[in-house]
Amino acid sequence: MSQRTPLIAGNWKLNKTIAEAEEFIQALLPRVFAADGVDIGICPPFTSLQAMVDSARGSAVRVYAQNMHQAESGAYTGEVSAAMLSELEVQGVVLGHSERREYFGETDKALALKVPAALEAGLEPILCVGETEEERERGDTERKLRHQIQEDLAKVPEDQLAQVVIAYEPIWAIGTGLTATPEQAQEACAFVRALVAQRSEEAAAQVRVLYGGSMKPDNAAELIALPDVDGGLVGGASLDPESFAAIVEAAK
Ligand code: PEP
């Protein structure tokens, strides 16, 4: 049994207006009232961040943004900085989600700046890594994970590595209904931890590694119980308060 507190974080992606987000949080809070020993996060769109921080204040639920820019300020239309998020009192930020990498050209080079910028502003980054189906089939899963972890965390000092949450998300399992088998999830998450250990054994023992990819109430307990899995990053099943609360329950 690890000493790491599990984290269940719900990535809403491009879903929920402020009114819908309010409805969700009012339904979630009583359901997770007694969720001791589990950290709970929701990752709403930017527009609902302030409302969710206000509504979740005093509860066990923390709020994370889904993206940020690496610069402190400047001519980057449409972007927000780490300091702007921190001012909203959000807990952290999801970085390097495969959808951002694929549809918005988020690169490892940018992530190498984003992760330390988030830490510097007091935010907890949830860094997403993972392989495509093709990469898995041709035996390149470890190569891909090694590349992403080494590049994206290159500028994070050793004594701050444990503050990063790493979400292993096989791209073929995101939003597809296909879930990694417990063996696949354990193997990949252990590999991610071993990569962190190459920089710092101490950080590797503390760093939280999440699994993400079609996690649902009926498969969550088995995945979260794996020795190197410290919770989940949940997409589709996080949109419904009952399903999300059931996944939180599975992590207790
Ligand atoms: C995600 O978007 O991070 C994710 C894991 O999505 P889903 O749970 O829907 O596969």
Dihedral, CA of residue 234, residue 106, residue 46 and residue 10, to nearest 10: 10
Residue 2 has a pLDDT of 54
Beta bridge partners of 233: 9, 212
For ligand 1, say whether the CB of 215 is within 6 Å of any of its atoms: yes
Q: Is 12 annotated as a binding residue?
A: yes
**Ligand 1, from 8, 101, 215, 219: best to mutate by most atoms within 8 Å of Cβ?**
215
Classify domain 7-250 at the CATH topology level. TIM Barrel (3.20.20)
- What atom of ligand 1 comes closest to residue 94's alpha carbon? 3
- Mean pLDDT of all residues in 164-184: 96
The model's pLDDT over 41-85, given as tens digits with 9 standing for 90+, comes to 999 999 999 999 999 999 999 999 999 999 999 999 999 999 999
The neighbouring-strand residues paired with 210 are 167
pLDDT, residue 36, reads: 87
Distance 118 CA to ligand 1 centre (A): 22
Residues 6+ apart with CB under 8 A from 242: 27, 31
pLDDT over threshold 90, residue 22: yes
Annotated active-site positions, please? 97, 169
CA 213 – ligand 1 centroid, Å: 5
Q: Say what the pTM is.
A: 0.97
